[in-house]
Structure formats: C-alpha cells, structure tokens
Structure 1
Amino acid sequence: MPLVFEEYRFDPNPRFPFLVTMKRYPNLDGEQKGFTLVLTHGTGFLKELWEPIIERIFTTESAKLDGLRIREAWTIDAPNHGDAATLNTALLQSGAYDLTFSWENYSRAIHLLLAGLGSFTDSKNQPAKIDFTSKRLIGIGHSMGGVSLILTHSFYPLITFDSLILVEPMLITARHSKASGRKFGLDEGALVRRDFWESREEAWTSLSTKGMKTWDKRVVKLFVEFGLRETTKDDPFDRPGVTLKCTRIQESATFKDKTSQALAFDFLETLCSSTPVHVIWGAIDDYIPAPIKEDIHKNAFKGEAASIQRVANYGHLVPQMQPDNVADAISNTFGSLSTSPTKSRL
C-alpha cells in the first residue's frame, strides 16, 4: 500500500529563530497505541528521502504475526535543508550561518518540536494540535541526523525515546581527523557541486546517471521532486530552472561543524545508560574509516551499544543506496522493545 502523508510546520519562536518542517506518515495498518518513528536525515539530504525505508518497515512489520505495532512515522527537515530552508531563507541569507551551521540547531529544532514548545500548523496554515509527549518514540537518524538525535537528550525538558537507531552516525572528532591523516573535504566539495538545471527532467537525467547513479532510483526521484525548487529573480542564475533547496553555502557550512560531533561522542555513554542505542553501519568503511568506527565503539559507546549491524556491500550512504536493507536492519532492532505501557515522555 503506497504511503500517504500530512504536512506540518512548527514555529518555536521566540525560543528559537528557525521554522521547522515535517511530514507525518500514518500507518494505515497500524494501531493508535503503537509506536511513533521519528526520522532525521544527514547533511545534504531531506526528510522525504526516508520514504522507501518507512514504506518497507510498515509493510514488513504489518506482515509479521509478532511485528511491532507502529502507529506512524514523522520525518523532520534540518532548518537549512529541504522545505525548511525555503521558509528560513531570509535568516539563512543574513550571513550569520554562512561559515558554520551547527548541528545543534537541528537537535534544538527536534527537541522543541517533540516537547511541544511552540505552535503547529497544517498544510492549509490552520492551527494543528499535535502532542508528542504521550507517544512512544523510536528515534532513527542517519549521519548528522543521528548525532542530532543524541544531542536532543542534552536539553530540558527531557525527551524519552524507547530506543534510538543510529545509521552511520557521523561521530568523527578533531582528534580522529588528525590521527587518521585524512582530510574530510566534504565542505569544499559542497561548494562546487552542481546547483542548477534547466528543468527537473534534466536534473533527473543528470543525477540518476552521474551524481547519484549508485543511489536507489526511488531515492533519486524523491530528491528531484522535493530537494529542488524553482529559481527566482533573487537567484544568481541568468535563466529559469531549478536549484537546490539547501544551498551550496549552507551544505558546506553544515559540513564544517565539528563541535556537535565531539559533544555527541562524549555524551553517548551517558545516553546508553538510560536508552537502548542501536547502531547500523555500512560494511564498506568509506566516509568513516574502520579505526574510527572501532574507536567510537570503544570510547563513545564503551561497549554499551544495544546492537551493532553492518549492511553488506555499502558504505556511509547506505540509506540512499539500499533503503530496503536498511529498513530490514532497523526492523531487526524492534525485537527488544516492550509493547507494555511506558512512563510519561517528559
């Protein structure tokens, strides 16, 4: 059964300057008392890219006799990515976030949203009553999104997750980069990536055969549909077309943040003492070399990860390349969850 979704906007002002965009995917075969999945994306990506994974999880869990009861899934854009970037254009163009965009901004947005410290509106800009505080939450984050989920636990009021699932969490600290002798030049690469196409059709042809040719075609299609926007007179292009919602400057600024990774690295042991934290790696150690992953398990998790899985034949971008296998790995973690009532979320 194809996914259906509802779009919402969250305004945490004056506590936080950025508007937040999210989508709710109700599980049509789910239950009102089931779990709520909260999914967060990596740098350069967006909330809609989780859709193939959500669809697979809904389908496989519903087909199992003992499958996890899942009520819904929510995906959340980082403030300078996806639809949120479009809403926050004026603030992002102020220059304050051009050099570095802290991942804590994403973490803070997630926390405020889940704590209900702001107002919600629906796609028709009508007030919406949404309460996450009574839901049973499972956090699922890829790369930056995983780090941001870790850091939500450092804000007050406390948000409680039944479990966290980190897919290729980007927990590289400054000492890792120095010790490995490797330069992670993702910020420089973002500044020179292509950011204009004359049409979405041209973007699809280019990305599916070049820049994203190793991605699952469903994910490429979603990126072309939701990761791009029509150009305006304020853009530096001399003709109409489509461009990235998350600009090259903002993607680069996001890659430059290293402080949030270090904070999450140091906080992970504390988090593991109260919450089951599962980790899923790609079997290919590309963006995060094997010695760094070993150090993460030894000195961040300190042997307290609830489970560790590897998805064969793929690396850091495994959610984009193999969404079905990632969905199955996520489902593998559900067996340890209790379906009995739990305590208040706050």
Structure 2
Amino acid sequence: MGASENLGIPADVKRRKVILPGKEIEIALQDWGGEGPLALLHHANGFCAALWAPVAEQLRSQFHVVAMDARGHGDSGMPQEGATPESFSWALMADDLGQVAHVLLEETGESQIALGLGHSFGGTLTLAAESQHPGLYERLVLVDPVIPSTAWATPERIESQSGMVERARRRRSRWASHAEAHDQLSTKSLFANWTPSAFDLYIQEGLLEGENGEVALKCPGEVEAQIFGNSLSLNLDEVLAGVRTPARLLWARHGIFPREVFERVCAVLPGAQLVEADAGHLIPMEKPDWVVENVLDFCSLA
C-alpha cells in the first residue's frame, strides 16, 4: 500500500475562506500546515482542492501546504453574475490565484511561494499567475497542464474541445444520496484508473448535500463548460514570455496532448524539465505518490 492510501481530510487541516480584494468573491482554502516554506496547490477544472489530499499529506513534511478551490469550485463562491465567459476567463482566474498567493505571503512574511503545484488547467493558471506576478514562485511543477494555443488547435482538437464543452453541460449533476452518486459514478471511465482514496474524496468533497440527503456537484456543469470553452482566451505566447521560474512539466503519456506540444513549451521556458508519466491526464488521482516523488526530486528534497 502506497503512502497516499489514507482516506479523507485530516481533522487538523484548517478550512477557511479569503475574500479577494476588488472582486467580492470568497475563495476556499485547505491549509495543511507544515514547518517548511509555502506550497500552493491548484486543482483541475471541475474538481476541487480536496483531491490533492494524498499529495498534500506527504508534502507537508517539507512544505507549508495550502490548496485552494477555484471560483465556482469546491467550497469557493460563485461570481455574482453567474457562469459567464467573462467571469470565468483564464486570465481572471490566474489573477485569483495570484491574489491568494499574496494573501499567504502577507500572512507568513515570506517573499515567495516556494512551490507552485498545479494540475491541468490549474497548472496553466499557475504558469499564468507567475507571468502576471514575476517572481511569485520559486519553483513550478505543472502536472499535465492544458496548453491552449491556436498553433496546435487543429480541426480535430477544436472538435474535441467542443465535445468537452457539451459533455460538461449535459453531465448529470444530482443524485438522491452520496451512495447513489458513488454507485453511478464508479461505472464511468473517467474514474477507472483513480486510486480508491481519490474517488472516495471526490464523492465526499466534490458533492454538496441538500435537503433529504440529496447531493449535487459543487462545480456546476455550466462552470466547467465555460472554462473548457475559454481556454484559447489565454495568450500562451505572452504567458510563456513572462516566466523565468524553474519548472518541471509532468506529461501524461495516455493523456490529452502529444509530447511534442510539451517539448515546445519546455523549449521556451528557460531550463524547464519534461518528465513522462505512464498515466492518463488525471495523474494526481492515479499516481499521487509519483507526483510527490517528482516534486521532492525537483526541489532537491528527495
């Protein structure tokens, strides 16, 4: 059994919310504590901070670990205007991340976030936050980040993206109970390679319980769809031009992007490293221990 097989969020993890200046939106944080420098973790589209638990539990022996829920996800608030292209633009959400980082730096008195760890669109937002706020992070580990660029937006990829948007909008979002959600979702191919603890965390933390025990996705399908549909709103060339921070990209061999896409990104980022994962796109839910090993190795803490 791997080090990541503990279930649930430990009782000593502090859950709190911060209100972003000028935005009047609450962002939920899970503060795992730890005696080391700050590590700020960002999840993938449609998921939540809690899914970092198997990784965060191990990293807090070396870092002060904080995981955040993006707007419209997990326990964070929704924009007052609802799910619109403007309220879920990638640049705006990267700025959310940067603001959270500055709140943490002000609280701790540190000058940098030692580790920015992001998965999928969370990896892209982490990269964009560093570009918007140069020097925000000391190191970046980007787990199969979404690489939005018209340079490789082939007709096939555009069609695939459109399919993701529509599937998100049509996705079932309500069940009679946690048990029914568990039974129905466990049959989906999306979760086939997840560790049992990751799937249980999603059922426990990704659903909101209402009256009579009914549950619903905390991240509405329309939010997920807006984010998928907005990916090309981020100018990747501008983002990459603003990043000089050491970075390691973890590429999923069985994921979304061909390896050459990541090789192009690494060629632009000074000294960037590319490591291949024998996994699908959802690497942290499939191989959390492997993610931890890469973080510690990259930060010379292994």
Query: For the superposition of Structure 1 and Structure 2, which TM-score range results when normalised by the shorter chain?
Result: 0.7 to 0.9
Partner of 2:42: 40
Pick aligned residue for 1:161 from 134, 137, 140: 137
Partner of 1:311: 277
Q: Are 1:19 and 2:6 an aligned pair?
A: no
Q: Structure 1 residue 251: deviation in Å? A: 0.8
* Matched position secondary structure for 1:308: strand
Which aligned pairs between 1:3-18 and structure 2 lie closer than 5 A?
Answer: 3=10, 4-13=12-21, 15-18=22-25
Q: 1:92-128: per-residue Cα shift (whole Å, max 9, x none)?
A: xx356268721223211121122239xxxxxxxxxxx
Distance 1:178 1:20 in 2: 35
| Matched-pair contact (CA < 8 Å) for 1:265–1:296 | no
Pick aligned residue for 2:248 from 275, 278, 281: 278
* Matched position secondary structure for 1:153: helix
Partner of 1:223: 202
| Root-mean-square deviation over aligned CA pairs | 2.8
When Rg is computed on C-alpha atoms for both structures, the one with the higher figure is 1
Distance 1:230-1:334 versus aligned 2 partners, 3 A rule? same
| Matched-pair contact (CA < 8 Å) for 1:21–1:77 | yes
Q: Structure 1 residue 269: deviation in Å? A: 4.0
Task: Give TM-score scaled by structure 1 length.
Answer: 0.75
Q: Structure 1 residue 246: deviation in Å? A: 0.7
* Matched position secondary structure for 1:147: helix
Which aligned pairs between 1:236-315 and structure 2 lie closer than 5 A?
Answer: 241-261=214-234, 263-272=235-244, 275-284=245-254, 286-298=255-267, 300-301=268-269, 304-312=270-278, 314-315=279-280
Distance 2:158 2:296 in 1: 34
| Matched-pair contact (CA < 8 Å) for 1:139–1:165 | yes
Partner of 2:129: 152
Q: 1:54-85: per-residue Cα shift (whole Å, max 9, x none)?
A: 22334xxx5xxxxxxx241000111111101x
Distance 1:100 1:292 in 2: 28
Q: Are 1:324 and 2:297 an aligned pair?
A: no
Q: Structure 1 residue 165: deviation in Å? A: 0.8
Instruction: Point out where structure 1 has 5 or more consecutive residues left out of the alignment.
Output: 63-69, 118-128, 233-238, 338-346
Q: Are 1:191 and 2:143 an aligned pair?
A: no
Q: Which residue identity lines up with residue 219 of structure 1 in the other structure?
A: A
Distance 1:10-1:181 versus aligned 2 partners, 3 A rule? closer
| Matched-pair contact (CA < 8 Å) for 1:167–1:281 | yes
Partner of 1:123: none
Distance 1:336 1:307 in 2: 17
Number of aligned residue pairs: 291
Instruction: Point out where structure 2 has 5 or more consecutive residues left out of the alignment.
Output: none
Distance 2:58 2:272 in 1: 23
Task: Give TM-score scaled by structure 2 length.
Answer: 0.85
Q: 1:162-204: per-residue Cα shift (whole Å, max 9, x none)?
A: 1111111111312312266552221111011121111011112
| Matched-pair contact (CA < 8 Å) for 1:20–1:76 | yes
Distance 1:254-1:43 versus aligned 2 partners, 3 A rule? same
Distance 1:22-1:310 versus aligned 2 partners, 3 A rule? same
Q: Which residue identity lines up with residue 287 of structure 1 in the other structure?
A: I
Distance 1:48-1:270 versus aligned 2 partners, 3 A rule? same
Q: Which residue identity lines up with residue 326 of structure 1 in the other structure?
A: V
